[in-house]
Amino acid sequence: METHHGSRQWACSTVRGPLNKTMNDAVHEEFVELHVVSKNVQSIRTDRRLEDMLLEVALCQFDLLCLSECWRADGEECIESVHGDLVYLSGGCMYRGVGVVVSAQFRKR
């Protein structure tokens, strides 16, 4: 991976195998700059813990935030925060779960 002006770009070489095509043949306009963050939330079972997590998320800069160990009781939830972030959560089955937060700024693009 090489860094160019603060953003990360993949330094790809030729793919060996049946495709035998370079990974760098896309034009620059086809790329979307994306700031992806991952966070282990260590249980947001209660609504209070969820609210605390949403307040913390509001202080972060990201496009997509991947959440692990959500531990929500509901099978699936979709929540829009007061800041406009969309929060998708999964849970259920023994209270495991993951989630994805799409930032309000990214949604406006």
Using DSSP, state whether 54 is helix, strand or coil: helix
Q: Is the Cα torsion angle 59, 9, 101, 82 positive or negative in sign?
A: positive
The tens digit of pLDDT for each residue in 46-73 reads 889 999 999 988 898 999 999 999 888 7
Compute the average pLDDT of residues 2-13: 44
Where exactly are the structural domains of the chain? 2-108
Could you tell me the two tokens for 41?
């939330």
The tens digit of pLDDT for each residue in 78-103 reads 999 998 999 999 876 666 789 999 99
pTM given for the model: 0.69
